[in-house]
Amino acid sequence: MASETSFWVEGPGRGRLRTAEVREPGDGEVRVRTWFTGISRGTEATVFRGEVPERERERMRAPFQEGDFPAPVKYGYLNVGVVEHGPAALRGRAVFTLVPHQSVFVVPETAVTPVPEGVPPRRAVLAGAVETAVNVLWDAAPLVGDRITVVGAGMIGCAVARLAQGIPGADVVVVDRDTGKADVCAALEVPFRTPDDAPEERDIVIDTSASEDGLRLALRTAATEGEIIEASWFGAREVSLPLGEDFHSRRLTIRSSQVGLVAPRRRATRTPATRLALALELLRDPAFDALLTGESPWTSLPDVMAGIADGSLPGLCHTINWRDGNWRDGTWQGGDGTGG
């Protein structure tokens, strides 16, 4: 029986690597050897700090989470690996799976989504971010020529902006207080502004900043009858907003967007599986490589997660490399990949 190494949150601000046995796959199951995992900075930092609100703990469960909030818990959902045991059509294929940080795992074959040819496996880790961006835009429903501001140049905000930039005639701007994000936005071909220079009279403002200041800026810069889409999650933090003044006279709308459910406008015709497959197809765009801003070996995961949670390790998508001596230059060197 094979063994696996996985990352667990042991308590607020504490994590460690655990080793356990992996059962043999049964009928309709696959065994996947992890290649890369990605860290979802906002959500995983909230989990690591033990800040998941008690009333949200059931809704916040990841598909293959083990343990319960606040801890100990194995949490995560950005995993790209290679099928080493399973149907011939999948064996040897790179796949994306909503599995935590873990070296090898067994799941139903319906839980894996093949990575399209032409999408590098490390870039495929961004599928979760791009899937969220797709859902946000389905919720926002921008029109040709709309003036769109994305507040927050994080992984989700940048993914939203890159996709929105493809709408004909759209005027898309990203706003962030961190001027170091300007280079990433330039690589995505999206204009960057600081809050002091944020344009006003915007048809749609999408807040991904997870900050009170960001949501306040969204209210201030929206056009009359404009729509604010709140796409970030504040965990247990409270937010104060100026809903007096001209909020009512301008007839503003604030609406949440969350990836757990397919947006209502597409729920009758799309499923989470087809939405994820679409996200992976959109990752053929090499511009998304700009969101991959850091990488560490799996042995460093506890320190990396702590640095992301306390803000000492900045960046966008930080990937974890799980390859060992059996992998060289992205190629499996350990045999025919059947796993025996």
Where in the chain are the domains? 2-126+283-332, 129-265
Per-residue CA distances from 337 to 99, 232, 237 (Å): 20, 40, 46
Q: Are 108 and 95 in contact (CB under 8 A)?
A: no
Q: Which CATH class is domain 129-265?
A: alpha beta
Of the pLDDT bands very low, low, confident and very high (cuts 50, 70, 90), residue 86 is: very high
Among 315, 330, 336, 325, smallest CA distance to 41 is for 315
Q: What is the pLDDT of residues 187-214, one digit of tens each?
A: 999 999 999 999 999 999 999 999 999 9
Residue 242: partners with Cβ closer than 8 Å, 6 or more residues away: 216, 219
Write out pLDDT tens, residues 163-196.
999 999 999 999 999 999 999 999 999 999 999 9
Largest Cα span, the chain: 68
| pLDDT tens-digit map of 33-76 | 999 999 998 899 999 999 999 999 998 999 999 999 999 999 99
Is beta strand 79-85 parallel, antiparallel or unpaired with respect to 94-97? antiparallel
Rounded CA separation 176/152 (Å): 5
CA dist 94 to 22, 60, 97, 323, Å? Answer: 20, 27, 10, 13
Buried/exposed code over 32-42 (b: 16+ C-beta within 10 A; e: otherwise) = bbbbbbbbbbb
pLDDT of residue 326: 43
Give the type of residue at 98: L
Q: What percent of the chain has a predicted confidence (pLDDT) above 70?
A: 95
CATH superfamily of 2-126+283-332: Medium-chain alcohol dehydrogenases, catalytic domain (3.90.180.10)
